[in-house]
Amino acid sequence: MKQRLIKILSISAIILGSNLQAQTYNNLFRTKDRQENREGMDLEKFSYGFYLAGNNFDYKMVLNRKYGMDGNKNLVESKSTYSFGAGLIGKMRLNYYLDLRIEPGLHFVQRDLTFNTYDHINDITNGGTTYNPPFTPLADFTETDQKKIVKSTYVDVPILLEIHGDRWYNSRPYAAVGVNYLMNLQSNETSEGDNSVNTFRTTTHNFGWSAELGIQFYFSRFKLTPAIRGTFFTNNELVQDKATTPPYWTPAISTMQTRAFMFVLKFE
């Protein structure tokens, strides 16, 4: 009796395993009888949507070797923080493999700059520099003087050329590259104050380029696209302090350009 029960269970297990294997094969590899979601979406000339983004913005800096470096030691450091953004999507179909996209968005950003220049500048300048007239060194370099919180609100207008592969069931990979115009609404570029009154100034109008990779997933009512995007500014964003301001801050930096990495969720 026991042996018969073992045989029945063994046969049942083999049959069940065969059925599960067949179902798995059908679900993963057979696409002939599958229903494709949003079949006509890829054929539309124009489409639209919106996106949400998790951001990491940082500054890529080239320091002045005399004022921003002490030997091989960098005296100015940039610390990135995580932030968020959101925007709209407009797409124009060019052909089966190419789309043109415009994705205007708004990104809220904060970066922390630390200037460890006080002692070094005082040692090498003796009250004056090539760019600054003689100055009276600050009696105390406070934490507010040393650490600058740079807040930015970017209106980002990227134009992207997207190339995608063939659709496999309800997914499709793609890559995109394009150019950006970015307006910083908190640049303080025209402000009369500078770092002497704790106002760090950057350029308002900026330009850059972006590259993006992602996978489009088609659902019954919408298309969801998770993607990774990198955006890199091409212009120098730094606005120099006034000539009468002690050279502890902007003279230590030659160029300063934003680089950003984003995780984007698109809904179309």
Same domain, 72 and 10: no
Q: How many domains does the chain have?
A: 2
pLDDT of residue 234: 97
Same domain, 96 and 225: yes
- Mean pLDDT, the chain, rounded, equals 86
3-state secondary structure the chain: CHHHHHHHHHHHHHHHHHHHHHHHHHHHHCCCCCCCCCCCHHHCCEEEEEEEEEEEEEEEEEECCCCCEECCEECEEEEEEEEEEEEEEEEEECCCCEEEEECCEEEEEEEEEEECCHHHHHHHHCCCCCCCCCCCCCCCCCHHHHEEEEEEEEEEEEEEEEEECCCECCEEEEEEEEEEEEEECCCCCCCCCCHHHCCCCECCEEEEEEEEEEEEEECCCCEEEEEEEEEEECCCCECCCCCCCCCCCHHHEEEEEEEEEEEEEEEC
Domain that holds residue 13: 1-30
Same domain, 104 and 156: yes
Same domain, 79 and 207: yes
Mean pLDDT, rounded, for 105-130: 84
Q: Which of the four pLDDT bands, split at 50, 70 and 90, describes residue 129?
A: low
pLDDT of residue 207: 98
Answering whether pTM is above 0.85, one says no
